[in-house]
Structure 1
Amino acid sequence: MSRTVPSPRLGFLYPGHAAEDDYPLLGRMIDPPAEVHLVHTGFLEDTHTVEALSEMGSLPRLQKGAEALADSGIESVLWTSTSASFVLGLDGIRQQIDALEKALGVPASTTAMAFARAITAINANSVAIAATYPEDVAQRFCQFLDHFDINVVHVSSRGIVTAAEVGELEKDDVIEFAVANSHNDADALLIPDTALHSAAWLPDIESATGKPVLTANQVSFWEALRLCGKLTPQRGLGRLFEEIP
């Protein structure tokens, strides 16, 4: 007799408005469907600069967002901004995770940490990065991955300043961007911005590039499931979800 896995109850803190609709979509795409609780957090400025991202990912911002998830019954929580975690370095990320776990009493993580774990899960030693960020922010992501001995063989910076603009990119734009940065020496391609839509297009992006692709919203959802012990193989969500270690 097969064991029935109860529906996951997942919490996500998402800065502003861009591609947040990926999360309820991902919740409907998995079996069994997930109960998604998403809270929008605030910031002073929608711009991909180290200063603005540091403010966006500050502990008061996260703690205020966590208050809206209290008593929601979630089993894990993710701070879903890649850049507003890695720009703070590993110590800053640890503080973000600690603050969320203390506030909500459930396992927590960030999208940046989700990338590091997902890369390990698919046994990728070398990666290429297709970043929508300006170059200085993209280089911070490379520095973050270096802590985990992940070899970056290629990085591209599209130079888009605001999350709102990233969220307007259509399927063809995303696939073209992915293909242009799919490096022969890379085991996987990373697309690290949670402002970028990707959930509905994961099989198409992987088919076009011919290799595993990890996107920010995909790895965030994967990490939330992993944290609450309800990560199971799924179809249509990329190779990351096909085989669960």
Structure 2
Amino acid sequence: MSQTAVGFIYPDHAAEDDYPYAAELLFASGEVRLEVTHIYGTDLHAVPELLDLGSPERLAAGAAQLAGLRPQAVVWACTSGSFVYGPDGAREQVRRLAVAAGVPASSTSFAFTRAAQSLGLERVAVAASYPQDVAGLFAEFLGAAGIEVLEMAGAGIDTAAEVGTLEREAVLDLAAANDRPEAEALLIPDTAMHTLRWIPDLEERLGKPVLTANQVTIWEGLRLVGHRAAHPALGTLFGA
């Protein structure tokens, strides 16, 4: 049986265990592998550091680490390290990653816009862990894709490492605090935040679709290889 592999370049360590969890739910027989490699820089949520983290040199190094695993697509699994470049810069970032990897590529920021568009979402709320200035850049990125952000307040968490320590109740409370009744969905943009195990709880509490960073990143990688997967534990986006 031929096996499909999707590669993910993940910055440092925080919530990368979301990926094997998703693989276990979606592909218990192993027909698709979700392969994660790591690159290292700062984990600060600050613009200069994020620009460095998403640099062509760092992503090319990540692509080289994945090469031996023969992925059919590669995704830069970092939201802030992609949207900080703006839409045009993020497109160039992905183009250069695709050249380095020799396969189709994307990033978590584009995963969010494509996932939202696939669900027909036009008006959303955002529960961001970032400082306000960085969170604002995500709202601008969504706006450029025709997605209106009705509510967003950055939680002001300075590092990805700290975000990775947030437990279930803190994540649910952050989501509820940033939702608005008129928003069609809530977006949680940080791949450093554990969310996959709590998506059903999030959607039940808010009564609407919730898109989270690692969730949409996995969905985008599967989209790139033409593979549709469904599981109710991964929320509306992975509905049948």
Alignment check: 8 A CA contact 2:26 2:230 kept: no
| Distance in structure 2 (CA, Å) of the matches to 1:6 and 1:237 | 25
1:165-185 deviation line (CA, Å, top 9, x unaligned): 000000111111111222111
| Distance in structure 2 (CA, Å) of the matches to 1:137 and 1:91 | 17
Tell me which amino acid in the other structure corresponds to 1:181: N
Alignment check: 8 A CA contact 1:130 1:155 kept: yes
Tell me which amino acid in the other structure corresponds to 1:125: E
| Distance in structure 2 (CA, Å) of the matches to 1:191 and 1:7 | 31
| Distance in structure 1 (CA, Å) of the matches to 2:104 and 2:163 | 29
Cα shift at 1:7: 5.2
Cα shift at 1:6: 6.4
Cα shift at 1:240: 0.5
| Distance in structure 2 (CA, Å) of the matches to 1:7 and 1:13 | 20
| Distance in structure 1 (CA, Å) of the matches to 2:3 and 2:238 | 17
| Distance in structure 2 (CA, Å) of the matches to 1:192 and 1:17 | 16
Moved more, 131-140 or 21-30: 21-30
- The residue aligned with 1:226 is 223
Alignment check: 8 A CA contact 1:169 1:197 kept: yes
Q: Aligned pair 1:186/2:192, yes or no?
A: no
Question: Secondary structure in 2 aligned to 1:70?
Answer: helix
Moved more, 10-19 or 64-73: 64-73
Percent of residue pairs bearing the same amino acid type: 47
- The residue aligned with 2:25 is 29
Question: Secondary structure in 1 aligned to 2:172?
Answer: helix
Question: Secondary structure in 2 aligned to 1:131?
Answer: coil
- Scaled by the length of structure 1, what TM-score is found? 0.93
Structure 1, gaps ≥5 residues long:
none
Question: Secondary structure in 1 aligned to 2:192?
Answer: coil
Structure 2, gaps ≥5 residues long:
none
Q: Aligned pair 1:152/2:149, yes or no?
A: yes
Tell me which amino acid in the other structure corresponds to 1:22: D
1:125-164 deviation line (CA, Å, top 9, x unaligned): 1000000000000000011111111111100210000000
- Scaled by the length of structure 2, what TM-score is found? 0.95
| Aligned pairs, number | 238
- The residue aligned with 1:172 is 169
Cα shift at 1:102: 1.1
Residue number among 2, 15, 19 corresponding to 1:19 in the alignment:
15
Root-mean-square deviation (Å): 1.4
